[in-house]
Chain A
Amino acid sequence: MTAAVRRAVFLVFGAGLLALLLWSFGGLPDLGHYVGPYGDLVNALTIPERHSTDAVTTVNFDVRGFDTLGEDAILFAAVVGVAVLLRVLRDEHERPRPEEDASGRRIENTSSAIRLLGAGLVGPTIVLGLYIVAHGQLTPGGGFQGGVILATALLLVFLSDQYITLRRVGPMALIEAAEGVGVAGFALIGVAGLIWGSSYMENFLPLGTTGTLLSAGTIPLNSVAVGVAVTGGFAFMLSEFLEQTLVVRRE
């Protein structure tokens, strides 16, 4: 297929797609005019039934918690896939570059401004991530968002040139375990609903006072479990990429 034919085919189908899109946009309800019972029901029931002030988190970790379990499993599969793809191959060898291996010596081409900023932001990033995980049922965010933020703390460590040091001190085993522990924890909280409640993922814990940190029953527990899983998963993927880039050399 020549370039001209390809462009002609694209233009024809592109125009068709545009026409269909514009047609379908015409049928959308106006902004803020939601049609359909489910959203209104969730909005009306979130506070009285679950004592939670964030309807989205309530849907994710309670009303539709089973879907989140599936998403958790998808993330787990993706992380395992990355680990398999990025494993150290037979003709590769784990060996830090000499300048990274020598302790206390700095790589010259990272400016001290970036290093200082990176190191200074590690603490605030971790606090922000923990805050978002812990306040899942109160404010926007939850285990997933907070977990990704927590995992990016690892990136800041890398930016501030401390990755090799971190690797030597070694929370890597912890990171590898966190993904599995988080996913298993989420599934087991569901089983607990089966034991102490009447169905899988039933919110069996006392709901507490609306607006406090320990309210909404199992929702904060689920948020923390997902937070641990996502932190572990993303940090593991990042560290695998960093290992491949910084440490593994082809002999």
Chain B
Amino acid sequence: MSVLQVAALLLVAVVGTATALTREPLRQAILSSLYGLVLGILFFVFQAPDVALSQTAVGAVALPLMILLALAKVRGGAR
């Protein structure tokens, strides 16, 4: 395993733990986006570029965006 791969694994562990431990939904959504990006980097350095592309597009953009929009709707409704 190369240094890059070990670094990517550690990064995923740190960001994943941080995402799980965050309690505030807005911050958690942003962190989950970062987690999606880091996971994409992990797949890329482990030579799976196809999966990395899917992971980055869905995990870093589409999913957090839907959470954010749902949060905006929920908060707008409460106002």
A24 at the interface (CB under 8 A from B): no
Asked whether, in the complex, the Cβ of B66 is within 8 Å of the Cβ of A237, the reply is: yes
A210 at the interface (CB under 8 A from B): no
Interface pair A241/B70, CB less than 8 Å apart: yes
Size class of the B contact interface (CB-based, 8 Å)? 20 to 34
Within 8 A of B (CB), among A114-158: 132, 140-142, 144-145, 148-149, 151-152, 155
Tell me whether B76 and A245 are in contact (CB under 8 A).
yes
Chain A binding site: helix, strand, loop or mixed by DSSP? helix
Q: Which of B62, B65, B72, B77 contacts A250 (CB 8 A)?
A: B77
Known: A244-B73, A245-B69, A250-B77. A140 touches B62 (CB 8 A): no
Indicate if the CB atoms of A142 and B50 lie closer than 8 Å.
yes
The yes or no answer to A31 lying at the interface (CB within 8 A) is: yes
Interface contact B46-A145, CB-CB below 8 Å: no
Q: Which residues of B contact A46 (CB under 8 A)?
A: none
Question: A144 contacts which chain B residues (CB < 8 A)?
Answer: 54
From B1, B57, B66, B76, contact of A148 by CB (8 A): B57
Which residue from chain B places its CB closest to the CB of A144 in the assembled complex?
A: B54
Q: Which of B27-51 contact A (CB under 8 A)?
A: 46, 49-51
Q: Is the CB of B46 within 8 A of A151?
A: no
Q: Are A244 and B50 in contact (CB under 8 A)?
A: no
Does A160 make an interface contact (CB < 8 A)? no
Is the CB–CB distance between A155 and B54 below 8 Å?
no
Query: With A54-B50, A141-B53 known to touch, is A148 a contact of B61 (CB < 8 Å)?
Result: yes
A187 to B34 CA separation, bound complex (whole angstroms): 36
Tell me the bound Cα distance from A132 to B54 in angstroms: 11
Q: Which residues of A contact B15 (CB under 8 A)?
A: none
Q: Which residues of A contact B65 (CB under 8 A)?
A: 152, 155, 238, 241
Cα distance A148–B49 in the bound complex, in angstroms:
15
* A interface residues with partner B (beta carbon < 8 Å): 31, 54, 56-57, 132, 140-142, 144-145, 148-149, 151-152, 155, 234, 237-238, 241-242, 244-245, 250
Known: A132-B53, A152-B62, A242-B69; 11 extra A-B contacts, CB below 8 A, are A56-B50, A140-B50, A140-B53, A148-B57, A148-B58, A149-B57, A234-B62, A237-B66, A245-B69, A245-B72, A245-B76
